[in-house]
Chain A
Amino acid sequence: MRVYSEYSQGVLYLRLEGELDHHTAAETLRSIEQLIDRYLPRKCALDLSSLTFMDSSGVALFLRAQRRMRYSLGQLWLIDPSEQSGRVLKASGIERLIQIHYTESRKMR
């Protein structure tokens, strides 16, 4: 798992690339929490378009990242889930708890 980060004007944009499972989740969460602590963003956007695989370990990770953002009164967004990760998000019902956004280019498909 790789985490690519970009910060601009209160928004921390993180793109997750690779496979997010129980084996990779702990280290990935640590990277995300370190970046949140460094920038203290208003909003943290997790771009899931490059996730090639995700299971319920990812769901637990997103909920923890969201809790971390709420400590500092910030928000967590999930952006453009890949097809497979989108199906896991849907089956887990996390859509009711975390905002999922699709950018224009994805809506066109």
Chain B
Amino acid sequence: MNYLNYIKLEFPSNSSNEALARSVAGAFAAQMDPTLEELGDIKTAVSEAVTNCVVHAYPDSIGKILLRCRILEGGRLEILVRDWGRGIEDVAKARTPLFTTGGEERSGMGFTIMESFMDKLTVRSRPGEGTTVVLSRTLPKRKRVR
């Protein structure tokens, strides 16, 4: 697929990088002239995806996380979050609202929020090999008022 612009960022799964990742994704999306609401939705979805890597992919260690943001033709923003961690046994179950293996610190709403804030969510995972989450959303073109 043709892309108009992209960034790739790799970072360790320290929880302090959750804020960094969503800020970077927000700063990249800003060139598409999103509304504040759209920007908030994008940052929230990225925060959920990266938190999943920190909490679930690498529960007892620090591992590598890749964030790739692309602008596709037609005003489509695509965000990929990948880890090489534990993986998910049953993706359909993991996507169920309120389901969590994270105990009472987690709400089990991460995938639900990603789904409701973005147009499309794809999750590919293999136990022991890692997980790839792809989020995308089309941002309508706006006329600039001068």
| Chain A residues proximal to chain B, CB less than 8 Å | 19, 21-23, 25-26, 53-57, 59-60, 63-64, 83-84, 87-88, 91-93
The contact sample of 16 A-B pairs, CB cut-off 8 A, is A21-B19, A22-B54, A23-B18, A53-B40, A53-B47, A56-B109, A59-B107, A60-B104, A60-B105, A87-B37, A88-B113, A91-B116, A91-B117, A92-B107, A92-B109, A92-B113
- Which residues of A are found within 8 Å of B22, using beta-carbon distances? 53
Interface size class of B (residues with CB under 8 A): 20 to 34
Assembled-state Cα–Cα distance A25/B105 (Å): 9
Assembled-state Cα–Cα distance A56/B97 (Å): 12
The chain B residue sitting closest to A59, CB to CB, is B107
| Least CB distance, A3 to chain B, in whole angstroms | 18
A55 touches B16 (CB 8 A): no
Known contacts A22-B18, A23-B15, A55-B113; is-contact A60 B107 (Cβ 8 Å): yes
Any A CB within 8 A of the CB of B36: yes
Assembled-state Cα–Cα distance A91/B121 (Å): 15
| Least CB distance, A102 to chain B, in whole angstroms | 18
Assembled-state Cα–Cα distance A100/B47 (Å): 24
Assembled-state Cα–Cα distance A64/B102 (Å): 14
- Which residues of A are found within 8 Å of B109, using beta-carbon distances? 56, 59, 91-93
- Which residues of A are found within 8 Å of B43, using beta-carbon distances? 53
A55 touches B47 (CB 8 A): yes
B40 touches A21 (CB 8 A): no
A57 touches B106 (CB 8 A): yes
Interface centre among A25, A87, A93 (most CB of B within 10 A): A87
- Which residues of A are found within 8 Å of B105, using beta-carbon distances? 25-26, 57, 60
Any A CB within 8 A of the CB of B112: yes
A56 touches B48 (CB 8 A): yes
The chain A residue sitting closest to B106, CB to CB, is A60
